[in-house]
């Protein structure tokens, strides 16, 4: 509630006001367009009615002569005629012959032009001003004819239309205010939820996620993006804590051994051979520490995603073949039968150095744990829009229950602890695979382990 109280006086109020202003302007323009289209249409209808009357009277004069014209006018101005009609027929001396006007208006020149007449009409309430639209014509006989219509009905209709439009505008304004208030309230509620969640996250609760209402609107999409970012931050923070804990646990022993050997060498008699042996042991421990730190840096670099800026189009088959040539002698020395099935081209978009380190780590593990017999297989194949890299050995393998665990940092199973290492090899493989959006699978090779990675094939590289 505190977050929502901060918003209505600020951004959401301005948003509601802008919404209302645009809504009101739109309604006003729409109603104005309706009025401007309707009133001229009424004027046209009056003009067309007068023109039709003139044509009818002209037909009467042609068929029945002057007397027929007078009869027609008297019928139109009689009790059964149109009360809104205005007619006047005068002779050559402007004497009235027929019609419901007393005198010929001075503005009516008899040239057929449309004129507006300001007249007064006798009603139950007395003489009332009226506006009449009329046309007048001079006949060949010297007579003049005027036909018009009282525009009171048109004026009354236009007034009723203005009143209806005013009511519609008022109702639209009320709806606009209500709509703006509802939108403002909804925005304030959604932003308040995001603010409240953000404050919990700032207090250190990284497990919180931005709320969604399932509508799929912009707020839900923003929440999805923020939640993905929070998930990534939580993973990195968890990884950082894991690294810190693992460093404190795994590096304490080699550092303690290094310190103890140096102290023993210094406390013992001055013996060059003893000093040399102590230095060699210390150098070996330092190399192990440097390898551990180097592995951690590589894993962190892959997990951070910054290496994506250095992605390039490359042929994974060529890269695997180059690294395989370096490891084939080591495999032979370990008593392994080397089998290579590399089919080029296998185009992917990736980081050359990290992919090379991934292949090297897998080959190094295969040689280390499969030594003494069996075969080592390295294969690269491209088909169906994907590139598959697989490395298999005949060693002890990894139980299915532990295959997810060994992908974490510093995890070493009982069998692997007999061999030197830091437990970062497969965690680097997992990090590089995730960086490249590749599917990583650890499978049973019966006997041994088969590591399979499936990359998305780069069409751009294929075309190149």
**What mean pLDDT is reported for the chain?**
78
169 belongs to a structural domain: no
Residue 240 has pLDDT above 60, yes or no: yes
- Which range (70-74, 80-84, 86-90, 451-455) has the least confidence? 80-84
Q: What is the pLDDT of residues 427-456, one digit of tens each?
A: 888 888 988 889 999 999 888 899 999 998
Global confidence as pTM: 0.48
Q: CB–CB of 165/35 below 8 Å?
A: yes
Query: Are residues 258 and 284 both part of a single domain?
Result: yes
Query: Are residues 226 and 272 both part of a single domain?
Result: no
423 belongs to a structural domain: yes
Long-range Cβ pairs for the range 400-409 (8 Å, 24+): 400/444, 403/442, 406/442, 407/440, 407/442, 408/242, 409/239, 409/242, 409/243, 409/246, 409/296, 409/299
- The 3-state DSSP class for residue 367 equals helix
DSSP 183-222: HHHHHHHHHHHHHHHHHHHHTT-TT------SS-SHHHHH
Strands (E) located in 306-448: 312-315, 337-342, 347-350, 375-383, 386-392, 439-444
The average pLDDT across 55-61 equals 77
> Sorting pLDDT into bands at 50, 70 and 90, what band is 297?
low
Q: What is the pLDDT of residues 170-208, one digit of tens each?
A: 887 777 777 777 777 777 777 778 888 888 888 877 778
pLDDT of residue 23: 73
Residue 247 has pLDDT above 70, yes or no: no
Six-digit token pair at 92? 């050559």
Please report, in angstroms and rounded to a whole number, the separation of the first and last CA atoms in the chain.
Answer: 59
DSSP 373: S
> Sorting pLDDT into bands at 50, 70 and 90, what band is 347?
very high
pLDDT of residue 5: 43
Query: Are residues 325 and 237 both part of a single domain?
Result: no
Strand pairing partners for 392? 377, 450
- Residue position matching structure tokens 């289209």: 37
Strands (E) located in 281-327: 312-315
190 belongs to a structural domain: no
Query: Are residues 377 and 406 both part of a single domain?
Result: yes
Query: pLDDT higher for 35 or 418?
Result: 35
Strand pairing partners for 379? 341, 390
Count of structural domains within the chain? 3
Query: pLDDT higher for 420 or 47?
Result: 47
Six-digit token pair at 24? 């009101």
Q: Which residues of 427-444 are buried (b: 16+ CB within 10 A; e: fewer)?
A: bbbbbbbebbebebebbe
Question: Residue 451: enclosing H or E segment and its boundaries?
Answer: strand 449-456
Query: Are residues 382 and 447 both part of a single domain?
Result: yes
Q: Within 10 Å of residue 68's Cβ, how many Cβ atoms?
A: 15
pLDDT of residue 6: 41
Pairing between strand 386-392 and 375-383? antiparallel
Q: What is the pLDDT of residues 102-111, one digit of tens each?
A: 888 888 877 7
Residue 121 has pLDDT above 90, yes or no: no
Pairing between strand 375-383 and 337-342? parallel
d(Cα 117, Cα 131) in Å, to the nearest integer? 6
pLDDT of residue 4: 42
Strand pairing partners for 3? none
357 belongs to a structural domain: yes
pLDDT of residue 415: 52
Query: Are residues 277 and 417 both part of a single domain?
Result: no
Q: CB–CB of 226/254 below 8 Å?
A: no
The average pLDDT across 94-100 equals 85
322 belongs to a structural domain: yes
pLDDT of residue 35: 75
The average pLDDT across 307-311 equals 76
Question: Residue 140: enclosing H or E segment and its boundaries?
Answer: none
164 belongs to a structural domain: no
DSSP 382-399: EETTEEEEEEE--S----
CATH no. for residue 400? 3.30.565.10
Query: Are residues 459 and 315 both part of a single domain?
Result: yes
Q: CB–CB of 114/101 below 8 Å?
A: no
pLDDT of residue 249: 60
Q: How much of the chain, in percent, has pLDDT values that exceed 70?
A: 82
- Which range (16-20, 163-167, 206-210) has the least confidence? 16-20
Largest CA distance in the chain: 156
DSSP 418: G
Q: Which of 285, 362, 265 is nearest to 320 (CA)?
A: 362
Query: Are residues 449 and 311 both part of a single domain?
Result: yes
Query: Are residues 311 and 300 both part of a single domain?
Result: no
- Mark which of 304, 329, 348 sits at the end of a domain: 304
Query: Are residues 335 and 393 both part of a single domain?
Result: yes
11 belongs to a structural domain: no
Q: What is the pLDDT of residues 133-142, one digit of tens each?
A: 888 888 777 8
pLDDT of residue 261: 75
Structural domain boundaries, residue 222: 206-249
Query: Are residues 320 and 381 both part of a single domain?
Result: yes
134 belongs to a structural domain: no
Query: Are residues 231 and 326 both part of a single domain?
Result: no
Sheet holding 375-383, edge to edge: 337-342, 375-383, 386-392, 449-456, 439-444
């Amino acid at each position: 509630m505190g977050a929502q109280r901060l918003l209505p006086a600020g951004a959401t109020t301005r948003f509601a006001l802008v919404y209302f202003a645009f809504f009101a302007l739109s309604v006003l323009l729409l109603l104005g367009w309706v009025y401007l289209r309707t009133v001229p249409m009424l004027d046209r209808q009056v003009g067309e009615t007068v023109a039709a009357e003139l044509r009818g009277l002209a037909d009467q004069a042609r068929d029945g002569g002057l007397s027929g014209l007078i009869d027609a006018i008297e019928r139109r101005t009689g009790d059964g005629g149109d009360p809104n009609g205005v007619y006047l027929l005068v002779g050559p001396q402007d004497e009235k012959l027929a019609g419901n006007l007393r005198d010929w208006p001075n503005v009516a020149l008899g040239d057929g032009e449309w004129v507006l007449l300001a007249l007064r009409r006798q009603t139950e309430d007395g003489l009332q001003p009226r506006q009449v639209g009329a046309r007048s014509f001079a006949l060949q006989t010297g007579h003049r004819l005027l036909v018009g219509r009282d525009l009171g009905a048109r004026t009354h209709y236009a007034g009723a239309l203005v009143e209806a439009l005013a009511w519609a505008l008022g109702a639209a304004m009320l709806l606009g205010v209500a709509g703006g208030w509802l939108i403002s309230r909804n925005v304030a509620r959604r932003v308040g939820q995001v603010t409240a969640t953000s404050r919990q996250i700032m207090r250190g609760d990284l497990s919180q996620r931005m709320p969604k209402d399932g509508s799929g609107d912009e707020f839900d999409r923003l929440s999805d993006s923020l939640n993905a970012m929070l998930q990534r931050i939580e993973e990195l923070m968890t990884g950082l804590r894991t690294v810190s804990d693992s460093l404190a646990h795994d590096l304490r022993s080699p550092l303690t051994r290094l310190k103890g050997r140096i102290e023993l060498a210094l406390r013992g008699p001055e013996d060059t051979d003893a000093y040399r042996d102590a230095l060699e042991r210390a150098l070996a421990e330092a190399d192990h520490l440097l390898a551990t730190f180097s592995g951690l840096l590589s894993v962190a670099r892959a997990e951070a995603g910054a290496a994506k800026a250095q992605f390039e189009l490359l042929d994974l088959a060529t890269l695997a073949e180059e690294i395989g040539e370096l490891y084939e002698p080591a495999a032979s020395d370990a008593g392994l039968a080397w089998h290579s099935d590399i089919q080029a081209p296998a185009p992917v978009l990736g980081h050359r150095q990290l992919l090379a380190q991934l292949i090297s780590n897998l080959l190094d593990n295969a040689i280390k744990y499969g030594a003494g017999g069996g075969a080592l297989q390295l294969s690269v194949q491209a088909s169906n829009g994907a590139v598959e890299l697989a490395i298999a050995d005949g060693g002890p393998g990894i139980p299915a229950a532990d295959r997810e665990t060994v992908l974490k940092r510093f995890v070493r199973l009982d069998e692997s602890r007999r061999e030197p290492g830091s437990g970062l090899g497969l965690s680097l493989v997992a990090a590089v695979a995730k960086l490249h959006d590749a599917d990583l699978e650890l499978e049973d090779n019966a006997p041994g382990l088969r590591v399979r990675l499936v990359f998305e094939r780069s069409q751009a590289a294929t075309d190149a």
